[in-house]
Structure 1
């Protein structure tokens, strides 16, 4: 479990050994990594100091943001437009010079997402504390602010939708959110692997580093096993799952310190 993970700052010698003298390519989740988790998703704006650190690091190595949010939304929240961003769990990937990067799971599911979004809004959109967020490639149902009855209503609807559309939909649970996605073999891990190939980051002199806090980041942690270094962001004693991460950092504040050390 996470409590046995070495710490990427306090156990710096272990982290340096894992780098093996290679130059980093850094992949960052957004919520919980570049910003704290907040009650209202639209309030998760990156701080000025974090923005400076990320921009500084990007002048020294490749930096990509891999988020469950819509790509345009995360770019707006970041206030940074010159980074590679993989939004919607990697379904929508954008490069500042090459524009949208097309891959096997990049389109073909728009009608399904529209239908599911409409159904969710009709059935739970008016439940106090529930937010239905339609994205380019998924629908997120946030229930952090709902009371127990509202949370139960959301859970039962999601379970019913998955049963009725078992061949079309999958759910990715997150922190007080259900993410309904097309049932495609695509996730943050596949997106990171695609980016490593597409951006020419597969050389022996490069070490990919992925920082994430949620269960959706585990796919990326697993994808980098034997290839790079993965870092779970959060309190290890609050980790309620086994993790494929190699190291830990306690909070976005520690992420900022860590990225600053990488940039030097």
Structure 2
């Protein structure tokens, strides 16, 4: 049995399908400037067809702030999870994790410290996502780049106990200390689906491993890229995502979608 056969058989046996996916590096190519990425037209088309199917739910799960994520995807009918699930929007309803909201002052304090201590690093930027921060060092000169996460780790005690650091792809997340992540967000979204549903999740970053570790044996995790992973299946690159989603739509539902 091929991997495609295994995926198709597992998902087709469900009563409904949750198609959940990361954004950067999955629906959109990675860019040096985090303000640039947009969902590719091919991914937008197939997700739109899937979202319109009565037996499918589409969820976009990202470290980006919710308002930023929605603007970049703009898919009607999708569920959005921003800030690694600390912000969730389903239809007209938006839910913000209450502990994360209360710890916004700690995030503000961390931003001031990091801006002061990293201000001399060329190419380093701090993205304020309201409930969390991301320190981006992709554009830092290569000879200096390895020192950035080291300096941030050294600053951890000064940032305080109400925040914690999460490494990403040439970035470091500064999040409120809350027992919540992308994996729990996907579980929360799936809880409203019918009994017997299946979940498929696609992601390319270390933060997506939180989802892969929560998936059940009947679900499917797909890592995008070549890094080590807890996902069972893999796509070699971001360019393979749209063809895979097209295949998923055609195969799992056993007829063209849309």
TM-score by length of 2: 0.88
Aligned to 1:3: none
Aligned to 1:190: 184
Moved more, 36-45 or 115-124: 115-124
Q: 1:95 to 1:188 in 2, by over 3 A?
A: same
Residue 54 in structure 1 maps to residue 41 in structure 2: no
Across the two proteins, how many residue pairs are aligned to each other?
247
Q: How large is the Cα RMSD of the aligned pairs?
A: 2.0
SS in 2 for 1:43: coil
TM-score by length of 1: 0.86
Aligned to 2:220: 229
Q: Is the 8 A contact 2:8 2:248 kept in 1?
A: no
Q: 1:193 to 1:104 in 2, by over 3 A?
A: farther
Tell me how far 1:160 sits from its aligned partner: 2.4
Residue 30 in structure 1 maps to residue 16 in structure 2: no
Aligned to 2:157: 163
Tell me how far 1:126 sits from its aligned partner: 5.0
Tell me how far 1:157 sits from its aligned partner: 3.2
SS in 1 for 2:241: helix
Q: Is the 8 A contact 1:230 1:245 kept in 2?
A: yes
Q: 1:253 to 1:16 in 2, by over 3 A?
A: same
Residue 178 in structure 1 maps to residue 178 in structure 2: no
SS in 2 for 1:39: coil
Q: Deviations over 1:164-194 (max 9, x none)?
A: 3452221111110000111211111111111
Q: Is the 8 A contact 2:106 2:160 kept in 1?
A: no
Gap regions ≥5 residues in structure 2 = 251-258
Q: Deviations over 1:69-127 (max 9, x none)?
A: 11111112223354211001110111123x20254545211111111112222222452
Tell me how far 1:49 sits from its aligned partner: 2.2
Q: 2:36 aligns with which of 40, 43, 55?
A: 43
Tell me how far 1:66 sits from its aligned partner: 0.4
Q: Is the 8 A contact 2:65 2:129 kept in 1?
A: yes
Gap regions ≥5 residues in structure 1 = 1-5
Residue 211 in structure 1 maps to residue 202 in structure 2: yes
Q: Is the 8 A contact 1:68 1:87 kept in 2?
A: yes
